Amino acid sequence: MNIVIINGSPRKKGATSRILHMLEEKLLVYGDVIIEYIDLIDFDIKMCSGCCACYKNGVCHINDDAEKLSNKILAADGLIMGSPTYASNVSGTLKIFIDRGHFVIEQLLHGKYAITVATGENYGSNDTSKVLNKLMQYSGAFLTGKIVYNTPFNKEISDVGLNKRVSALARKYYFDVKKKRRHPIQSIIYSIIFNVGIKSFVKSKGEKYQGVLDKWKKMDIHI
């Protein structure tokens, strides 16, 4: 079982990172899990130029780490992604990768399993969580669960309740991936989103989105 964990915070030892490492530790207990933990700040990922060349050719023309990271996710069974809250949204660091990562249109997470983590100090963390959850589900993943955690900036996390939540979520996630569980309600919602909102749009673009169609065929996505 191969899982990629992405810390979308520019801080390697902040609240987001601590919770992600907690999930990592709980999952590694099972013994048959391989995890690649990634601090996104260590990767060279430039901003999307909006040229849409990737939709036609299948790859981005910018030569940096974005394609490398997307391929890691593509090869994995699941993705755990976390972000602190910046202006009721994900961090700029993570947003740049989301824009470059082939997520929604190319269906990077098709058939994979996801957990999201959003941290903050106030109500905006719920908005951050919604952004992450939509990204996972619109990109084709089954969302096992989420963690939204508010804590004062730079405060150590020593929360028994959080530890229990992380343990329960890690266990549920492990067996989701292990048994390839399908979430019926999520499946219905995703089917509507993909068939009505994404597939029809891509097919209307013709050759301009040939790279997307080629990727879908390789991923055995019905078109």
DSSP string, 171-190: HHHHHHHHHT---HHHHHHH
Q: How confident is the model at residue 152 (pLDDT cuts 50, 70, 90)?
A: confident
Tens digits of residue pLDDT in 65-114: 999 999 999 999 999 999 999 999 999 999 999 999 999 999 999 999 99
Q: Is 142 helix (H, G, I), strand (E, B) or coil?
A: strand
Does the pLDDT value for residue 154 go beyond 80? no
Mean pLDDT of the chain: 96
User: What pLDDT sits at residue 169?
Assistant: 98
Which residue, 167, 126, 158, is CA-closest to 22?
A: 167
Determine the average pLDDT of the residues in 177-205.
Answer: 96
Does the pLDDT value for residue 223 go beyond 80? no
Determine the average pLDDT of the residues in 1-5.
Answer: 97
Q: Give CA–CA dist 67/168, Å, rounded.
A: 33
85 within 8 A of 125, measured Cβ to Cβ: yes
User: How far, CA to CA in Å, does 178 sit from each of 27, 133, 161, 209?
Assistant: 12, 21, 26, 34
User: What pLDDT sits at residue 52?
Assistant: 95
* Pairing label, strands 113-120, 142-150: parallel
